[in-house]
Amino acid sequence: MAKHKYKADKMTNTSDNKEPSKPVYFSAHDIHAYYGESYIVQGVSINVHEGEILALLGRNGAGKTSTLRALARLDDPAVHRGEIWLDHQPLHHMKAYQAAQAGIALVPEDRRIIQGLTVEENLQLAQIEKPIGWTIERIYELFPRLGERRKQEGTTLSGGEQQMLAIGRALARDIKLLLLDEPYEGLAPVIVQEIEKTLKLIREQGITTIIVEQNAVAALKLADRAVILDTGGVVFDGTAKEVLDNEQLRHEYLAI
C-alpha cells in the first residue's frame, strides 16, 4: 500500500523482531467500507496479538470510529471488501449480533448507558444471554465505585463512572476483543489515570483491546502497539515506543 509509508506490517507478526513470533489473534485484512456512496475505510489492515493493547490513532476524521464500527460488523459503514478474523472465526460475513456472540464488544464514544436502570441492572442485562463473562462481583472488584453505586441509576453517574459501567458491561459478556472508542473523552486526568489502571488489569486478565483515543500520549503509554490512520488508510503500524520516539510521525499525524 503506497500510503503505508512508515512501516508495513504483514498478516504474520513482523512488528517486533526482538520477540519470538506470536500467532495473530485478531486480524482485519484490507478492509474497505462505505457509508452509502462515501468511501471511508480504504484498505485498512490491523493485526492484534492475544492479550495485547493496540492503540488506533489519527487525526479527527481519519476514520478511527468508522474502522471500529466496521470491525464490530455494524451496518454502517458497510464493508464491501476484506476479511476479519477473530481467534480463527471469520467475522466478515457476520451481522453485528453474530460478531458480538463471536466475542467482539464495542464500547462506543457515547457509552449508551440504559436509562431507567440501575448500575447493577445495566450489568445484569448484559448477562441475559449466555455465555456470560465476568461475574458482577468481579466487575465490582475491578471498579469498586460501581459496587458502591450499584443501586444508583446508571445515567446519573459521573462521566468517568459511566465509562467504567460501559467497560464493565462489555466484560459481563464472554468477550475476546474489547473495542474502546475514546474512553477518556471529557474525563478529568485523575479519572483517566484510574481507567488506565483498570485497562492494564484487564490486559493482565488476558483480554485483548483496541483503544481509539484523541489523547494519543495516554493511549501510547498504555498500548503495546499502535496503528495510525490517515484519510481512511494505515500510515503506520509498529510499537507504541516507535511512535513516541518518532517526532516527525507524531507531529505529522497526531499533532503531539
Ligand X SMILES: Nc1ncnc2c1ncn2[C@@H]1O[C@H](COP(=O)(O)OP(=O)(O)OP(=O)(O)O)[C@@H](O)[C@H]1O
Contact (CB, 8 A) for 170 and 178: yes
Asked if residue 215 binds Mg ion (CB under 5 A), the reply is no
**Taking the CA atoms of the chain, what radius of gyration do you get in angstroms?**
18
Residue number with CB closer to ligand X (110 or 141)? 110
Rounded to whole angstroms, the Cα distance separating 235 from 63 reads 12
Q: Which is nearer to ligand X, 39 or 97 (CB)?
A: 39
Contact range with ligand X by CB under 6 A, out of 56-64, 99-107, 122-130, 144-152:
56-64
Rounded CA gap, 32 and 191, in Å? 36
Q: Which stretch binds Mg ion (CB under 5 A): 61-69, 137-145, 199-207, 233-241?
A: 61-69
Total residues binding Mg ion (CB under 5 A):
2
Q: Which of residues 213-252 bind ligand X (CB under 6 A)?
A: 214
Q: Is 38 exposed, middle or buried (0-12, 13-18, 19+ CB in 10 A)?
A: exposed
Q: Evaluate the omega torsion of the peptide bond into residue 77 and state whether it is cis, within 30 degrees of 0.
A: yes
60 lies in the site for ligand X, by CB under 6 A: yes
What's the DSSP call for residue 113?
Answer: P
Residue 183, classed as helix, strand or coil, is coil
Contact flags string 147-176 toward ligand X, x per CB under 6 A: ------------------------------
Window of 25-33, 60-68, 99-107, 133-141 that interacts with ligand X by CB under 6 A: 60-68
| DSSP for residue 250 | I
Least distance from ligand X to the Cβ atom of residue 33, Å: 10
Q: Say if residue 131 is preceded by a cis peptide, omega within 30 of 0.
A: yes
Of 65, 162, 208, 215, which lies in the binding site for Mg ion, with binding defined by CB under 5 A? 65
Which of Mg ion, ligand X, none lies near 234, with the C-beta cut-off 5 to 8 A by kind? none
DSSP-derived 3-state class of residue 11: coil
Among 26, 42, 48, 58, binds ligand X (CB under 6 A): 58
Q: What does the per-residue mask of binding to ligand X show for 35-54, with x meaning CB under 6 A?
A: x--x-x--------------
Query: What's the number of CA atoms in the CB half-sphere (13 Å) around residue 55?
Result: 29
Q: Using CB distances below 5 to 8 A depending on partner kind, what does residue 177 bind out of ligand X, Mg ion, none?
A: none
Cβ 79 vs Cβ 28: under 8 Å: no
State the binding string over 64-93 for ligand X (x if CB under 6 A, else -).
xxx---------x-----------------
Instruction: Report the alpha-carbon distance of residue 51 to residue 59 in Å, rounded.
Output: 26
Q: Which of Mg ion, ligand X, none does 58 bind, CB closer than 5 to 8 A by kind? A: ligand X
Strand order from edge to edge, sheet including 225-230: 104-107, 177-181, 208-212, 53-57, 225-230, 233-239
Q: Which residues bind ligand X (CB under 6 A)?
A: 35, 38, 40, 58, 60-66, 76, 214
Q: Which residues bind Mg ion (CB under 5 A)?
A: 64-65
